[in-house]
Copies of this chain bind each other. A is one copy, B any other.
Amino acid sequence: MCQPPAVALSLTVSVLAESESASAALVVPHSPVGHHTDLDALRAWAQHCDVVTFDHEHVPQEVLAALAADGVELHPSPDALVYAQDKLAMRERLTALGLPCPRWTRARTAEEVEAFAAEVGWPLVVKAPRGGYDGKGVQVCREPAEVEPWLSGVGEGGLADGLLLEEAVDFTRELSIMVGRSPSGQAAAWPVVETVQEGGINTEVLAPAPGLDPDLATSLTEGALRIAGELGVTGVMAVEVFEVTRVGPDGGTRAAYLVNELAMRPHNSGHWTIDGSVTSQFEQHLRAVLDLPLGDPSARDAWTASANVLGGDYAELYGTYKHLMARDPGLKIHLYGKGVRPGRKLGHVTVYGGRSGDLHSLEALRERARHAADYLQGVVTE
């Protein structure tokens, strides 16, 4: 998805692809096949690159260190990327910086689990510090018995350093804010968006987050820019947060946030920017990792609504285009060239327009986006 802005800017993208049929390999001419843990493959490929960046967070630190020692320019750097790879490291660092997080602890034993539960109450959110994505590696546990299988894995793989336990946050909704930051330190934030979740999967993104308290928007933007700066992030980063309600000493309430996850790459919650912002997250990521000045992250319309397309009833989706395009000439369809599997994130659709502050006009956009996603999934057939 970086290929379109790379084409516009006449930049040459090369992808180390997991297979010849990988989405990126289908659209990028220079796509040697190699695994992201294969140092020889990475070295052979990286020697032709001015800058190396990442599609996911799973390249091991020892591999990154070897590439860095070769003189390969990596963005984000391994020192920053570790906070997107390791949720325990992230929690420790953000807590040290005074940024708001759910209450959390590291646990290796049933006793440590019980002690934390005594403090924050059940249920607990149990996370594998490494290797999780899209709700995988996360479980809401309602009693000690549900944590037991996790404890048996401690010391290995993603649980090498123990479990990350977090309180189950009583949140109003989930928000995300994306920022771009360059090696020179320039940084820019897109508007805060609402990410609607169903079953742990993000299904809709609404930009900007409707009805967001302006003070919360400001503190969240400042927080995300501070994280980017303190962690030395280069490229784009998503900060996914819970919106919560806090009661003040006078009994009044105010909106606040708790950081849920960090992703140091273009992110699903930023796909709306392809059509909805002056500078898409993919163009911004290219600019940032090349240390070019960042583009304007402003929204182009009052509202932009995106809905994710998950694998559904159809083995191939081209057959849906005729109806969808005829029904809604303003619909922007984005499919990722992935094979269809039930529940797999295959693409997204975006619509934009409406009137600023008018929630009815946002609802009309949401309805169009949701209909299109439902139709692509076979949930509706007209």
Contacts and interface: CB of A to CB of B under 8 A. Distances in A.
A292 interface: yes
A321 B290 CA distance: 11
A294 B329 contact: yes
A360 interface: no
Contacts of A27: 3, 6-7, 29
Nearest to A323: B293
A61 to B, nearest CB: 32
Interface in A282-329: 287, 292-296, 298, 300-301, 317-318, 321-322, 325-326, 329
A133 interface: no
Given A27-B29, A336-B10, A278 B330 contact: yes
Contact of A1 (B7, B295, B321): B7
Interface residues of A, number: 43
A154 interface: no
Copies in the complex: 2
Contacts of A28: 29
A332 B8 contact: yes
A10 B347 contact: yes
A337 interface: yes
A322 B183 CA distance: 13
A333 interface: yes
A298 B28 CA distance: 30
B335 A279 contact: no
A4 interface: yes
B4 A292 contact: no
Given A27-B29, A29-B31, A335-B8, A296 B330 contact: yes
A8 B279 contact: no
Given A29-B28, A29-B31, A337-B10, A329 B295 contact: yes
What are the nearest 8 A-B pairs in CB distance?
A4-B4, A10-B335, A293-B325, A293-B326, A296-B329, A296-B330, A29-B29, A8-B334
